[in-house]
Structure 1
Amino acid sequence: MRNFTCECGNTLYFANSKCLSCERVVGFISDKLTLSACEVIEDNIWLAYADNQRYKPCSNYADYQICNWLVPVTQEGKYCASCELTTHIPDLSRKENILLWYRMELAKRRLLFTLKKLGLPVWRHIPDKPHLRFRFLEDVKEDEYGQELTVKSTVITGHNNGVITLNLQEAEDASRVMMREKMNERYRTLIGHFRHESGHFYWDMLIQNSDILSSFRSLFGDERADYTQSLNTYYSSGPPTAWQTQYISAYASMHPWEDWAETWAHYLHIIDTLETATEYNVAILNHPMVNPLHDNSTSLSSFDEIYEDWCRLTTVLNALNRSMGLDDAYPFVISSKALEKLQFVHNVVRQQPY
């Protein structure tokens, strides 16, 4: 994730809604992928310094402070390009849900920023393809005569025909860590969920019924294998003994669709983290990190450059964490087969037709 600069010269970060130096209001312009300081010229009308255009704050910005994106004044709707993609939000009568909703939307906006920089279709409506949408739902609970609330129905995080559903509990740190331990996962984050589920969406967009489907199957396996049966087998028997030699994660071994989604998510981890490193001029042994995104998708760095710098960077990140007595920041070992799959994802992104 890149940083931005205020009109006063202060550094602005992606989530900022105000410059802490000059106290100007700040808003993100999605068409230009930039965060801009603004001048408030009248009620709900702001002039952005970045392009000298007029905008209004997203309704979720003005009403709930869970968004910092802007809407062109010429646009009729009151929601920004990101919030427009959310079709269901949590019950806001429960005040604790506003913070959880904010975390959901922030992680979603980070995902959208990376997807847009990669040149992938997000808001464009492709004929005969699903439209990307998000639902943030919570488990339905009932009170048994004043007793402790019990779960009546559980929201399953997943993707279906363009709609990504996330359980609100994933935005609760304690609940997410508990689930990580229960599922025996070393890595489980909110942004990781978004990236994984977006992988399912882009499989439908870029792989299904395409001329690279046979190449996908030769590398990831045949996605026509019964998904429910594969799921039941995975949870009853666990991953194959030597899954590390073939997959980026244990869950990737469950079914070719999950292998793709896990690999896709991992690729986005790499891209975003390397871009962040370049924003801070990180260099290892006098070797500056490559910025995989540059200015647009047509100038994507080569995969070899990206992976070599990723290995350098994660070696240092893990060493730093160990010095602090923390778990590895990057608890993965990439096998040659998993690396081949990452290369495939890179090629799909670079050559995508939209």
Structure 2
Amino acid sequence: MKAFSCRVCGNALYFENSVCVSCKTNLGFSRTERAIVPVDGKGQYVDADGSIWHVCKNLNLSGCTWLTEFPGGFCFCCGLTRTRPSDEDVVGLREYKVAEEAKRRLIVELDTLGFPIVPRTEDEVNGLAFDLLSSVEEKVVTGHDSGVITLDLAESDDLHREKVRVNLDEPYRTMLGHFRHEIGHYIEWQHVRGDLIGTARELFGNEEESYADAIDRHYSEGPPAGWEKNFISMYATMHPFEDFAETFAHYMHICDTIETASAYGLATVASPQTFTSFRDLVIGVWIPLSIALNQINRSMGKPPLYPFVIPTPVLEKLQFVADLPRAARA
């Protein structure tokens, strides 16, 4: 994430700010400008071309600060959500706010990385949509199916998520991580095709293997011995689909953290996209940076920020993922 500042007073801003805490100017996020901009008393912003933008309909419901072309309408990011909790579901709506905040970061990074995002409302076959469902009264299974990403909003609750993390012996579990993992399934579904299938199978395995059998095997036998030499996580060992999604999530983790570190002077890389070789970026920038961040966390009595080791086979997988935007444009 880049560093933002108020255009009125120059005060530093967080991506989620709807008001500048210094000069009290109302704010909105312009996706077209990739900037936080001042909004007038009517909730409007006039850009350099004279176009009028309006605050999102979900400003008060989910804390969305994004701007939309349509008065009283949803912004691009909120428009991707197909289903949300009902107005009567107090718990679900509280969790929904956390999920939408993570989703906004996801969309910004996909824009940064060069992955096109087509809403399902515009393309019923290949478009993207999110069902953010409350599990207060029903069971919800997080997953991806033909462009629709379903997320259990209970994962927004810290106590619930930590309990699941411990039970599954996971080193890391966040709502943003869920979004990045599931969007990985969508990206593979959309972009790993044609000539790329062969290379993907060499790296991740044959995606045509039975997924149901893989699930049963994973939860009954656990990961194979020595999995750390070829996979980024235990979950990645379950099936080639999961290996790709886990790799894609880590690709996003790495890119976003490096960009943020650069924006705040903690790294000298202008942008992860300036590196032709993602391997070189990981070895030369990410590994030293993540070690430093892990040590900083330990200095605060916290667990490592990035508790993962990246072996050489995973570097090859990350390079494949990093090359996908160029392949998509070709």
| TM-score category (smaller protein) | over 0.9
Post-superposition offset of 1:91: 2.8
* Pairing 1:86–2:81 present: yes
User: Does the Cα contact within 8 Å between 2:279 and 2:318 map onto a contact in 1?
Assistant: no
Q: Which amino acid aligns with 1:156?
A: V
Aligned to 2:64: 67
Asked if the contact 2:279–2:316 (Cα under 8 Å) also holds between the matched residues in 1, the reply is no
Give the one of 302, 320, 323 matched to 1:326.
Answer: 302
Q: Is the contact made by 1:136 and 1:167 (CA closer than 8 Å) also made in structure 2?
A: yes
Query: Is the 2:91–2:136 contact (alpha carbons within 8 Å) kept by the matching residues of 1?
Result: no
Partner in structure 2 of residue 95 of structure 1: 90
Alignment of 1:139-218 (within 5 A): 139=135, 141=137, 153-208=138-193, 210-218=194-202
Deviation at 1:281, TM superposition (A): 0.7
- SS of the aligned residue for 1:90 comes to coil
Corresponding residue for residue 144 of structure 1: none
Does the 8 Å contact 1:26/1:36 carry over to 2?
yes
Which residue in 1 is equivalent to 2:55? Answer: 57
Aligned equivalents of 1:219, 1:84: Cα separation in 2: 35
SS in 2 for 1:82: helix
Q: Give the equivalent residue in structure 1 for 2:206.
A: 222
Q: Deviating runs (4+, > 3 A) in structure 1? A: 48-53, 124-129, 299-302
Q: Distance in 1 between matches of 2:292 and 2:104?
A: 28
For the structure 1 residues 203 and 328, does the alpha-carbon distance in structure 2 shift closer, same or farther, using more than 3 Å as the test?
same
Rounded Cα–Cα distance in structure 2 between residues aligned with 1:34 and 1:78: 20
- Larger strand percent: 1
Identify if the C-alpha distance between structure 1 residues 77 and 119 changes in structure 2 by more than 3 Å, giving closer, same or farther: farther
**Residues 20 and 39 of structure 1: CA distance in aligned 2, closer, same or farther (over 3 Å):** same
**Paired residue secondary structure (1:56):** strand
Pairwise CA distance, 1:49: 6.3
**Cα distance, 1:136–1:162 mapped onto 2, change above 3 Å:** same
Cα deviation, residue 223, structure 1: 0.3
Conserved 8 A contact 1:248-1:332: yes
Which digits, 9 at most, give the CA deviation of each residue in 1:201-237, with x for residues without a partner? Answer: 01111003x2110110011100000000001110111
Residue 16 to residue 129, structure 1, CA distance change in 2 (3 Å): same
| Number of aligned residue pairs | 327
CA RMSD of aligned residues (A): 2.0
Whether the aligned pair in 2 keeps the contact of 1:274 and 1:290 (CA below 8 Å) is no
1:141-194 residue CA offsets vs partner (Å, 9 max, x unmatched): 3xxxxxxxxxxx420000001011000110000000000001110111110000
- Counterpart for residue 316 of structure 1: 292
Q: Secondary structure, in 3 states, of the residue corresponding to 1:334?
A: coil
In structure 2, distance between residues paired with 1:156 and 1:114: 25
* Counterpart for residue 22 of structure 1: 23
Compared CA separation, residues 257 and 36, structure 1 to 2 (3 A): same
Q: Which runs of 5+ in 2 are unaligned?
A: none
- 1:291 corresponds, among 264, 271, 275, to 271
Going from structure 1 to structure 2, the CA distance change for 1:278 and 1:80 (only over 3 Å counts) comes to same
**1:239 and 1:65, CA in 2 relative to 1: closer, same or farther beyond 3 A?**
closer
Q: How much identity, in percent, do the aligned residues show?
A: 40
- Counterpart of 1:138? 134
Q: Using the TM superposition, give the Cα deviation of residue 121 of structure 1 relative to its aligned residue in structure 2, in angstroms.
A: 1.1
Aligned to 1:147: none
Distance in structure 1 (CA, Å) of the matches to 2:72 and 2:276: 37
Task: Give the whole-Å Cα distance in 1 for the aligned partners of 2:313 and 2:127.
Answer: 32
Return the offset for 1:328: 0.9
Confirm or deny that 1:245 pairs with 2:229: yes
Q: Structure 1 residue 98: deviation in Å?
A: 2.8
Q: Which amino acid aligns with 1:67?
A: C
Distance 1:305 1:38, change over 3 A: farther
Q: Which residue number in structure 1 is paired with residue 263 of structure 2?
A: 279
SS at match of 1:166: strand
